[in-house]
Homo-oligomer: A and B are copies of this chain.
Amino acid sequence: MNQYLSKIGRRIKEPPISWLMKTAIETPGLISLAAGFTDSLTLPVEETFLITKNIYKKAGKIALQYGSTEGDINLRQLTSDRIKMLDNVENPSYLPERVLITNGSQQFLYMLVEALCEEEDIILVEAPTYFVFLGILQSHNIAARNIKLDPDGINIDSLKATLDCLDKNGELQKVKFFYSVSYFQNPTSYSTAENKKREILKILKYYEKKAGHPIYYVEDTAYRELRFAGQDIPSGLSFTNLNNHVIYTGTYSKPFATGIRVGYAFLPPEIYQVIKRIKGNHDFGTANYLQQIIVEAIKSGIYAKHLKIIAKRYSEKANLMGKEIKNNFDFPVHYITPTGGLYFWVALPDKAKTGFKSRVFQQALKKKVIYVPGEICYADDPYFKKPTNELRISFGYSEETDISAGIKRLGDAIRESIS
């Protein structure tokens, strides 16, 4: 009946999160701990106004005219300087010529898949992983293999075993990259340790030879600058002799303002032009006005100051959520307290299923609180059995009273469901 659609058009599914968002909007009094929105209280309203005032005085016409497909050279230079500074090392992978500006890192992920993947190719993902990325793969009929995720990054044995299995099945040439949300991961808030990154890169290099083509290590660092405790970790770009197939993508949206969608990627030269051309066909360049806002935010120091403000705020909200979980979840649970990002990832007792149709979810809905069922964060993968007892809750958007009330309601819902 819909044979006029393309295969993508026929395959693409309504994202599970849409239903959650719709429910949140349509249910008065509902507390959504599901949304990945950022904190509202600390949005840089006044700062952005000051920035636009400066743009008005200094670069009004530039900001309002078309820019270039790859992005403003000043922003690419500042981005290059910034990530080099965070990684604290110098090598050619930080060159501004390797930086492409995008509409958030999401657009970059989409274009990367378009540039590298054919139907039935295989992408390695963390288990669990960012579910919107899984949606991109699904709509393009690209398979994903789940790699077990530990609190310091993926399990190296699981990576090796998966690649060995793919090798034995003659499928290694279909493997295009390993996708990792390497800082305060969505959904777990786990970060990948520096040593793990080095190990991952060595393993990928080994299998690249067998595959006969690059197997990129794609680091999605969307949450890197949402760190409120602990030390930063260098990215894969920093390993000077191992980094030739590292792809690094990040964003200014989450740390600064999600209404201003500016992301970026550091790309190896052999794929830079290809993805830039795809960007040209998508939109021939991210809105210059937004780019100039970020340029001015960084140059003026407003961006750096803002990072401190949100670190304090997220730290407080994360602590509160942790305290409320401790006080209200009086049944066996497993979770770690995050030091950055937006999420708590909670494993309930095995018998407590968390899916949309589960008693826990229905009971929670009845009590007017929602969460993201853990299941949707795992790729469909014949070699992997999805856990069904996990959930993601966010302290990103909710204010303190909602965090407290939400966790209490959720605790009640879970207790009633499992007792």
Contacts and interface: CB of A to CB of B under 8 A. Distances in A.
Interface of A: 2-9, 12-15, 18, 21, 37-38, 40, 43-46, 48-49, 52-53, 56, 60-69, 103-104, 106-107, 110, 114-118, 121, 132, 135-136, 139, 176, 212-214, 257-261, 270-271, 273-274, 277-278, 280-284, 286-290, 292-293
B283 A104 contact: yes
B45 A281 contact: no
Contacts of A62: 259
Contacts of A14: 273, 277
Nearest to A214: B4
What are the 10 A-B residue pairs with the smallest beta carbon separation, nearest first?
A45-B60, A4-B213, A259-B288, A64-B257, A49-B56, A64-B259, A261-B287, A52-B52, A9-B115, A259-B289
Contacts of A176: 4
B274 A5 contact: yes
A384 to B, nearest CB: 23
A142 B274 CA distance: 18
B40 A284 contact: no
Contacts of A4: 116, 176, 213-214
A271 B292 CA distance: 35
Given A258-B65, A283-B106, A278 B139 contact: yes
A259 B56 CA distance: 13
A66 B52 contact: no
Nearest to A45: B60
A103 B283 contact: yes
Contacts of A104: 283
A259 B283 CA distance: 12
A282 B107 contact: yes
A307 to B, nearest CB: 15
Contact of A289 (B136, B213, B257, B280): B257
A206 to B, nearest CB: 17
Contacts of A64: 43-45, 48, 257-260
Contact of A270 (B2, B44, B135, B274): B2
A43 B65 CA distance: 8
A67 B259 contact: yes
A249 to B, nearest CB: 13
Nearest to A137: B281
Given A4-B116, A6-B115, A12 B282 contact: no
A48 B274 CA distance: 34
A340 B389 CA distance: 61
A9 B114 contact: yes
Nearest to A15: B280
Nearest to A261: B287
A61 B287 CA distance: 20
